Amino acid sequence: MRVFKFGGASVKDAAGIKNVYDVLQKVGYEDVLLVVSAMGKTTNALEEVIKNYFEKSEELNASVQEVKKYHNQILLDLFEDEKNEVFAGVNKLFSELEYFLAHNKSPNYNFVYDQIVSYGELISTTILSHFMNFMGIKTQWLDVRNFIKTNSNYRDAEVDWELTQKNIAKNVKKKMLNITQGFLGSDENNFTTTLGREGSDYTAGIFAYCLNAESVTIWKDVPGVMNADPRYFENASLLNHISYREAIEMAFYGATVIHPKTLQPLQKKEIPLYVKSFINPMLAGTCVSKGSDSEWQIPSFIVKRNQLLISLSSIDFSFIMEENISEIFALFHQFKLKVNLIQNSAISFSVCVEDKFGNFKDLNPILAKKFKVDFDENVTLYTIRHFNEKAAQTVEQNKTVLLKQVSRETMQIVTKEN
């Protein structure tokens, strides 16, 4: 069996849904499992619903209606007859969502988040499955929550691999087109959980591992994995083949083409991962598989913007030792600051972090009780794998370098625009 993953950009409108059908016609669809994300920016729209729900906003109903309107237009563009059963199927899902909003008693934000945001994937796969059937491709729609079982760590759930393996091995039919949702699972009480933002790639990896799949293909709007983001670098090159190790390194440093958790289950069973274009599906794309890294030693650039550079120094000029560092990291964990770079000397300690929850303003006064705190906001972290002097000059040009760190294969540079 082959596993295909289509993200939100590939199914953002009726034309996208029709294109998925065209891709399957070209590359084959028998013995395939499709993992599909929410359509377009639906997850963001549902996050707005959640915000309005908790703030008891008068805009709650309007924000739900916006999501309905968006999907209804796609339905009308795909199906001429409004009596088609897909309309009833989608309406049923929206009724479930509205029922939850009216009757939920839990104040737990993360729990509520997972119950609401999951409808994006449930609706998109319902529409896609019905359209494939309408076009003559028989499908089996699978509710992924019956397959991927997790703990109750809402918004970042951990997979129960043993139970998940049993569910998938027993219930996924082969020799046909299966369609299921990315990003979702369920806990022992059958409440919906999510695997972390952008977790649909991971879902594909989980199914591939449990099915001993032939391959996984992630279909994107780019020709494959590039050595740099074309938005920030001219003359970005396609990487035709990279090893699992290299792909994991790139994902760790922030490359967004492949979700970091996706590669580990694939590597265990040496299942190749392809990143291909849904615009030009017959192009070779990038293959991630077992192999030597010596083949692709060209510099690769990874960019993380909107970072925060924090420098801590001891007030009394004493050494910053393991005990201090341990305490600092415990606070970073508590305040959900993701550390992307560390550099320390005898009396100072610098970190480049991601503060996506805006918690540094609360952490700063706590740190200031023990350390002198300096920080720079909105800095950019560049990571160069297989760097050379020319690559470093490309990054540093017309920028102020605040911090640089070099290891055998990787250079990281924190910069501020001049």
pLDDT in tens, 24-57: 999 999 999 999 999 999 999 999 999 999 999 9
What amino acid occupies position 197?
A: R
Cβ within 8 Å of residue 358, ≥6 positions away: none
Q: Is the CA virtual torsion 80, 81, 82, 85 positive or negative?
A: negative
DSSP state letter for 299? -
28 is an annotated ligand-binding site residue: no
Structure tokens at 142: 């699978």
What pLDDT digit, counting tens, does each position of 316-364 carry? 877 788 888 899 999 999 999 999 999 988 778 999 999 988 999 999 9
- How many whole angstroms separate alpha carbon 414 and alpha carbon 343? 12
Percent helix, strand and coil across the chain, each to the nearest 5: 40, 25, 35
Taking every pair of Cα atoms in the chain, the longest distance, rounded to a whole number of angstroms, is 76
* Phi, psi (degrees; rounded to nearest 5) at 271: -90, 120
Question: Which two structure tokens, joined as six digits, stand for 247?
Answer: 């792909």
Residue 175 is labelled as binding a ligand: no
Q: How confident is the model at residue 232 (pLDDT cuts 50, 70, 90)?
A: confident
Q: Is residue 18 packed enough to be buried (19+ CB in 10 Å), middle (13-18) or exposed (0-12)?
A: middle
Q: What are the residue boundaries of the structural domains of the chain, listed by start?
A: 2-220, 300-417
pLDDT of 365 above 90? yes
Whether 5 has a binding-site annotation, put simply, is yes
Rounded Cα–Cα distance for residues 332 and 317 (Å): 23
Task: Tell me: is residue 231 an annotated ligand-binding position.
Answer: yes
Mean pLDDT value across the chain: 93
- CA nearest neighbour of 375 among 399, 411, 412, 402: 402
User: What whole-number distance in Å separates Cα of residue 170 and Cα of residue 180?
Assistant: 16
Place of tokens 């309408």: 134
Token duo for residue 272: 């190749």
Number of residues that this document lists for the chain: 418
**Does 8 belong to an annotated binding site?**
yes
To the nearest whole percent, how much of the chain has pLDDT over 70? Answer: 98
Q: Which two tokens stand for residue 415?
A: 């910069």
Taking residue 96's Cβ as centre, other Cβ atoms within 10 Å add up to: 13
Concatenated DSSP letters of 76-122: HHH-S-TTSHHHHHHHHHHHHHHHHHHH-----HHHHHHHHHTHHHH
**CB-hemisphere CA count at 13 Å for 183?**
25
- Identity of the amino acid at 199: G
Positive/negative CA dihedral, 105, 106, 107, 113: negative
pLDDT exceeds 90 at position 257:
no
Domain 300-417 has CATH 2.60.40.790: no
304 among annotated binding-site residues: no
Residue from 235, 241, 394, 381 nearest 302 by CA: 381
DSSP string, 342-389: EEE-SSEEEEEEE-TT--HHHHHHHHHTTEEEEEEEEEEEEEEET--H
What phi and psi, each to the nearest 5 degrees, are found at residue 331?
Answer: -70, -40
Alpha-carbon span 177 to 162, nearest angstrom = 25
User: What is the distance between the alpha carbons of residues 385 and 248, in angstroms, rounded to a whole number?
Assistant: 12
Which pLDDT score, from 0 to 100, does residue 130 have? Answer: 98
Q: Which CATH number fits domain 2-220: 3.40.1160.10, 3.40.1080.10, 3.40.30.10, 3.40.50.10490?
A: 3.40.1160.10
**Spatial distance between the Cα atoms of 202 and 188, rounded to a whole number of angstroms:** 20
Please state, in angstroms and rounded to a whole number, the distance separating the CA atoms of residues 368 and 251: 33
DSSP state of 150: B
Residue found under tokens 């290891």: 407
Q: Report residue 86's pLDDT band, with 50, 70 and 90 as the boundaries.
A: very high
361, burial (CB in 10 Å: exposed 0-12, middle 13-18, buried 19+): exposed
Please identify which residue in the block is written with the tokens 């409108």: 13
* pLDDT given for residue 293 in this prediction: 54
Place of tokens 């160069």: 384
Q: Is the pLDDT of residue 417 over 90?
A: no
Q: Is there a contact between 218 and 258 (Cβ–Cβ < 8 Å)?
A: yes
134 labeled part of a ligand binding site: no
Q: What is the pTM of this model?
A: 0.88
Least confident of 97-101, 251-255, 370-374: 251-255
Rounded to an integer, what is the distance from CA 230 to the centroid of its chain?
Answer: 19
